[in-house]
Structure 1
Amino acid sequence: MIKLLFVLCFFVCVQDEPAMSWNESYKLSWADFKGEPNYKVSAVAITASGISFGFSVRETDSKVISFTTEVFCHFYPEQSWYKPNVADNHVLGHEQLHFNITELHVRKFRQRISQLKISNTIKNELRQLNKSINEELSVMQDKYDAETNYSRHFENQAKWKTYIAEELEKFSKYKSN
């Protein structure tokens, strides 16, 4: 039986759990992965990252007059883990890219929010936008894992790294601080 390198990504948004915000100048290290590894699965590492989102709406006489939003990209150390005996820097790079893909979707989310107009349907529009961006994020994360074969396809891994870097640059106006 051949043992395969297998990496998964979970998207969670857990309140009251320690979280690290995405930062352009900070790259994940294995020390950031604080969860207990699950040796019952073939996964080598799990990156738990997600989008947190909130909004407030001001109304006067049942008419929406303004709204504000907060959108953040988080990494959850306690939910993230790796197997030290098989994980290496290549796998860590794969995991970093999962976190970067989450940041990309935060930027897309902020960009789409910036295009919304104040209306009495803004709450529903924001909720729907949150739902759709998270669906898009999930699809891209799955596609990334499939096309890179969970980091085992080195050429595709390199292509994804370049693609995500270009996409992050394209949406740099909306980056996390």
Structure 2
Amino acid sequence: MKWIFLVPFLISGSLFSQKIIWQENNRLKWENFKSKINNQQGDNVVAYTHCGWEYSVVKSTNPKIPVRIKVTTIFNEDQSWKDVKRINDYVLLHEQKHFDIAEIHARKLRKEIAERIKTSGDYNKYFQEIYNRVLNDYRKFQAAYDRETRHGMNEEKQAEYNGVISEALENLKNYAAS
């Protein structure tokens, strides 16, 4: 029996950058935003959160052998930036929600994996399609979140999204990382 161990990354960047793993009661702090460079366009950017997920796979070349897939939501400190002259708690909450959105989609990915992928053969057949669909949904959600809240400047929309995000985390709590 031959085992294969894969570690592809959703997020570009260094394998050795400082990462924070998403946890229910561990909230971001401004000290976590360590990039010296604002890699976003525009002078109106107050902060930028670089987050997403990574996964690892342990599988066999035998398609009938069970597969193990671990999905972890991460925040990259070295690629997340803040304008120290304009930050405040409200902006930090908006940035935290970006991290929470990454966790929601990691839970969606874990849910589909649990439902559809049991063996190495299932992994070979279904994983890439599931991953690509969840990734596409994740990107669309993040873009809509920033667009509709105007990067947190629309307080009414921000409050709506805060509720939607909290509810989604609660509804998918069975798929939180263990």
| Structure 2 residue ranges without an equivalent (≥5) | 1-9
The answer (yes or no) to whether the contact 2:59–2:120 under 8 Å persists in 1 is no
Matched, 1:170 2:149: no
Q: 1:116 to 1:44 in 2, by over 3 A?
A: same
Displacement of 1:121 in angstroms is: 4.6
- What is aligned with 1:158? 159
Structure with more relative contact order (C-alpha pairs < 8 Å, separation 6 or more): 1
> Which amino acid counterpart does residue 35 of structure 1 have in structure 2?
S
Unaligned runs of at least 5 residues, structure 1? 1-10
SS of match in other structure, 1:115 = helix
CA distance in 2, matches of 1:26, 1:16: 21
Partner residue in 1 for 2:66? 66
The residue that corresponds to 2:42 in the other structure is 41
Contact 1:105-1:137 within 8 A present in 2 as well: yes
The farther-off stretch of 122-131 and 73-82 is 122-131
Task: State the Cα distance separating 1:138 from its structure 2 match.
Answer: 0.4
Q: Could you tell me which residue of structure 2 aligns to residue 136 of structure 1? A: 137
Q: Distance in 1 between matches of 2:168 and 2:68?
A: 25
Instruction: Check if 1:82 corresponds to 2:82.
Output: yes
Matches of 1:36 and 1:59, distance apart in 2: 44
8 A Cα contact 2:27 2:96, kept in partner: yes
Q: 1:147 & 1:100 partners in 2: Cα distance?
A: 17
Deviations 1:13-57 (A, max 9, x none): 432222110010111010110111439732111100011012122
Residues 50 and 74 of structure 1 are in contact (CA less than 8 Å); yes or no, is this contact kept in structure 2?
yes
* 1:41 maps to amino acid: G
RMSD: 1.9
Relative to the length of structure 2, the TM-score reads: 0.86
Q: Which has the higher strand share?
A: 1
Aligned length: 165
Percent identity over paired residues = 27
CA distance in structure 2 between the partners assigned to 1:98 and 1:65 by the alignment: 36
- Measured in 2, the distance between the counterparts of 1:109 and 1:148 equals 25
Q: Which residue pairs with 1:52 in the alignment?
A: 54
When normalised by structure 1's length, the TM-score is 0.86
SS in structure 2 of the partner of residue 64 of structure 1 = coil
Q: Decide which moves more: 98-107 or 113-122.
A: 113-122
- Superposition deviation, residue 142 in structure 1: 0.2
**Do 1:73 and 1:102's aligned partners in 2 also have CA atoms closer than 8 Å?**
yes
Q: What code does the residue aligned with 2:81 have?
A: W
| CA deviations over 1:128-170 (Å, ceiling 9, x no partner) | 2222211111000001001101101000000100110000000
Q: Which residue of 2 aligns with 1:102?
A: 102
